[in-house]
Amino acid sequence: MELVLTGTPVPATELERFGLINKVCQAGEDVVQAAVAVAERVASLSAPAVQLAKQAVKTGKSGLK
């Protein structure tokens, strides 16, 4: 809440540590390649399981109102 209300800049590495972002790419790292690797990993999983997981996240977000 404090980050949202104050707008205090926070380094990406700290946000990763907090679990607010999934990955920090290092300088020179191919960001598209990293994103494709995640997409391939998700695509290799059971489609119904992925859909249920997405639905659970969306439901959780809508419950935050």
Q: What is the pLDDT of residue 4?
A: 81
- pLDDT surpassing 80 at residue 43: yes
Is 33 within 8 Å of 25 (Cβ atoms)? no
pLDDT confidence tier of residue 45, bands split at 50, 70 and 90: very high
For the entire predicted model, the pTM comes to 0.63
pLDDT band at 6 (very low <50, low <70, confident <90, very high): very high
Whole-angstrom CA distances from 46 to 1, 34, 41, 42, 54 are: 35, 21, 11, 8, 12
User: pLDDT confidence of 3, banded at 50, 70, 90?
Assistant: confident
> Residue 1: its pLDDT value, please?
81
Written as six digits, the tokens of 6 are: 């104050």
